[in-house]
Structures are given as structure tokens and as C-alpha cells.
Amino acid sequence: MSGSSEQAGSLWNFTFGVRIIPDILDRAKWRNTLMWHPHPRITVGVEYNPLADDVHPLANLMVLQETSDRPAVMLGTSSDRIGTPDGQAYFLTVAKDIERWVGLPVAPYAGVSYGTYDDELTAVGGLNVRLNKNLSAMAIFDGHEIHPTLSWAQDNWSIGLILAFGEKLGMNATWRF
């Protein structure tokens, strides 16, 4: 997870995403997102979970852009973590591609998230590993569980797998337009 914006300088101003995880809470079984990128450092949108008739605002602000020596700092909001039936989360994270320092194509992130479902502040984090130009693996810690992912990105789309709670296999796809 590098702090640089993929949309910077491109024609793609919207991103539609869908995630499906069978055999999980209704809110998390089928998630749709629509994001607008009015500026390379700002993203706003909406999340709709039709099986639970659940709608949440989405927003991200890149407070500081990543440089060769400094991590990116991001502030945002989304629905609460995968394992909750409802709630909103508010987070602050830092992310840095550290390949130049460790010689491996990795980018860790860490931060804090406040979730309204549990009414608690938790540590969050993860590690993105670029396996090649298009393929990456990521471990996401949401403050309670680790969710490994594998993603293929090309041009204006991506597809991926997620192993929610280490046992429930799901898929996701995004399309930038």
C-alpha cells in the first residue's frame, strides 16, 4: 500500500467496486462501493450492502503524500470492520513503501481505527507485497482479525481474493472509469 495515488494525472475519476464473501453476515456478503476522486489526495463515495439494506459514507484524505523518506498519512471513514453487523469506522494510517531500505517489494501500513459498533479504538495495520508488476498479496489486520488478500491489477481494473477470518473465501473486483 503505497501512499501515492493511482488516479494522479489520469482520466479515471470514479471507481466502482464489488466484494462478495459467502457464508458471512448479510452486511458483508455483498458489498458495493462507488468512489469519486475529485483530487489525487481526496476520495469520497458511498458503500451499499444490499442484503442488509445498509448504506455508509466513504471518504479518504491523504494528509501527507509519501516521499522517498516520509510515509503517507491518510485519514478516512468507511463501514466498520467485516465482522460487525453495522457501524462506521474512522481511521488514521501511515503507509510507506520500504523496498529501497529492505531490498524487498513491501509496503507496510499501521494506524488506529475507531469503530462505532464496538465503541472502541483499535490498532490496525497490514503489509502489501508486490509479487510482480500486476500481482500483489496483502495481509490486513482490522484490529480484531487478519484477512489475507491476493490481487491482480491491470489498466483500469483489478480482481482479487480475500480470506476473511482466515477461512471464508471471497472475491472482489474494481473498475476505474
In a domain, 104, yes or no: yes
Contact 150, 160 (CB under 8 A): yes
In a domain, 4, yes or no: no
- Domain extent at residue 154: 14-176
Give per-residue pLDDT as tens, 34-52. Answer: 999 999 999 999 999 999 9
Task: Tell me which DSSP letter residue 116 carries.
Answer: T
In a domain, 124, yes or no: yes
pTM (two decimals): 0.88
Single-letter amino acid code for the residue at 159: I
Give per-residue pLDDT as tens, 103-147. Answer: 999 999 999 999 999 999 999 999 999 999 999 999 999 999 999
In a domain, 9, yes or no: no
CATH number reported for the structural domain that contains residue 60 in this entry = 2.40.160.40
In a domain, 8, yes or no: no
Looking at the structure of the chain, the number of domains it has is 1
